A and B are shown apart, each in its own frame.
Chain A
Amino acid sequence: MGDGTLSTEPILHIENLHKEYDNPVTLVLNNVSFDLFREDFLCILGPSGCGKSTLIRCIAGFEKYSGTIEVDGKRVESPGSDRTMVFQDFNQLFPWITVINNIAYPLKINGMKDKAERLKKAETYLNKVGLSEYRDYYPHQLSGGMKQRVAIARAMALGSRIILMDEPFAALDAMSRNQMQDELLRIKEGEGMTVLFITHNIQEAITLGNRIMVMGNSGNIIEHMENPIEKPVTPASPGYSELWKHLNRLLRNECQLEKGQ
Chain B
Amino acid sequence: MNKKLCAQIAFLVFILILWQILYSMHIWPELLFPSVSMIGDAFIRAFTERELGVMILHSLRLLIEGLFIGVVFAFILSSLFAINENLSAIYNMLVCMFDLIPGIALIPVAILWLGIGDEAIIFMVVHSVIWPMSRSIIDGFKAVPKIYTEVGKNMGLYGAKLIFGVYLPASFERLFSGIKVGWARAWRGLISAEMVFGGGSALGIGYYITDRRTNLDISGIFATIIVIILIGIVVEYGIFRVIEKNTVVKWGMVH
What 4 pairs between A and B have smallest CB-CB spacing? A140-B252, A106-B155, A96-B169, A79-B153
Q: Do B156 and A81 touch across chains, with their CB atoms under 8 A apart?
A: yes
A96 to B170, CA, bound (A): 8
Q: Do B251 and A158 touch across chains, with their CB atoms under 8 A apart?
A: no
Q: Which residue in chain A gives the minimum CB-CB distance to B250? A: A138
Chain B residues contacting A80 (CB-CB under 8 Å) are 154, 156
Starting from the known contacts A89-B147, A138-B252, 11 additional A-B residue pairs (CB-CB under 8 Å) come to A60-B150, A60-B154, A81-B155, A85-B150, A85-B151, A96-B170, A105-B155, A105-B165, A109-B155, A109-B161, A140-B251
The reply on A67 being an interface residue by CB < 8 A is no
Chain B residues contacting A134 (CB-CB under 8 Å) are none
Chain A residues contacting B172 (CB-CB under 8 Å) are 96
Interface bits B172-190 vs A (CB < 8 Å: 1, else 0): 1000000000000000000
27 A-B residue pairs with CB within 8 Å: A60-B150, A60-B154, A62-B153, A78-B153, A80-B154, A80-B156, A81-B154, A81-B155, A83-B154, A85-B154, A87-B147, A87-B150, A92-B151, A94-B166, A96-B170, A105-B165, A106-B156, A109-B155, A109-B157, A109-B165, A110-B155, A110-B156, A138-B252, A139-B252, A140-B251, A140-B253, A141-B252
Q: Which residues from chain A sit less than 8 Å from chain B, CB to CB?
A: 60-62, 78-81, 83-85, 87, 89, 91-92, 94-96, 105-106, 109-110, 138-141, 158
Q: Which residue in chain A gives the minimum CB-CB distance to B253? A: A95
Quote the shortest CB–CB distance from B55 to chain A (angstroms): 39
Q: Which residue in chain B gives the minimum CB-CB distance to A84? A: B154
Chain A residues contacting B169 (CB-CB under 8 Å) are 94, 96
A79 to B150, CA, bound (A): 8
Quote the shortest CB–CB distance from B88 to chain A (angstroms): 21
A140 to B148, CA, bound (A): 15
Chain A residues contacting B148 (CB-CB under 8 Å) are 94
Chain B residues contacting A61 (CB-CB under 8 Å) are 153-154
**Number of interface residues, chain B, beta carbon within 8 A:** 21
Q: Which residue in chain B gives the minimum CB-CB distance to A93? A: B151
A118 to B148, CA, bound (A): 21
The reply on B145 being an interface residue by CB < 8 A is yes
Across the interface, B150 reaches (CB within 8 A) one of A62, A83, A109, A158, namely A62
Q: Which residue in chain A gives the minimum CB-CB distance to B247? A: A96
A91 to B146, CA, bound (A): 11
Interface bits B127-170 vs A (CB < 8 Å: 1, else 0): 00000000000000000010110110111110001000110011
Chain B residues contacting A87 (CB-CB under 8 Å) are 147, 150-151
- Answer whether A138 and B251 are a contact pair too, CB < 8 Å, given A79-B150, A85-B150, A94-B151: yes
A247 to B251, CA, bound (A): 43
A138 to B246, CA, bound (A): 12
Quote the shortest CB–CB distance from B152 to chain A (angstroms): 8
A106 to B153, CA, bound (A): 10
Residue among B151, B170, B172, B252 with most chain A CB within 10 A: B151
Q: Which residue in chain B gives the minimum CB-CB distance to A141? A: B252
Q: Do A91 and B156 touch across chains, with their CB atoms under 8 A apart?
A: no
Q: Which residue in chain B gives the minimum CB-CB distance to A106? A: B155
Chain A residues contacting B253 (CB-CB under 8 Å) are 95-96, 140
- Answer whether A79 and B154 are a contact pair too, CB < 8 Å, given A91-B145, A109-B161: yes
Q: Which residue in chain B gives the minimum CB-CB distance to A154? A: B155
A59 to B208, CA, bound (A): 67
Quote the shortest CB–CB distance from A130 to chain B (angstroms): 22
Q: Which residue in chain B gives the minimum CB-CB distance to A87? A: B147
A230 to B92, CA, bound (A): 61
Q: Do A91 and B155 touch across chains, with their CB atoms under 8 A apart?
A: no
A62 to B150, CA, bound (A): 8
Q: Which residue in chain B gives the minimum CB-CB distance to A96? A: B169
Chain A residues contacting B251 (CB-CB under 8 Å) are 95-96, 138, 140
Residue among B151, B154, B251 with most chain A CB within 10 A: B154
Chain A residues contacting B165 (CB-CB under 8 Å) are 105, 109
Quote the shortest CB–CB distance from B157 to chain A (angstroms): 6
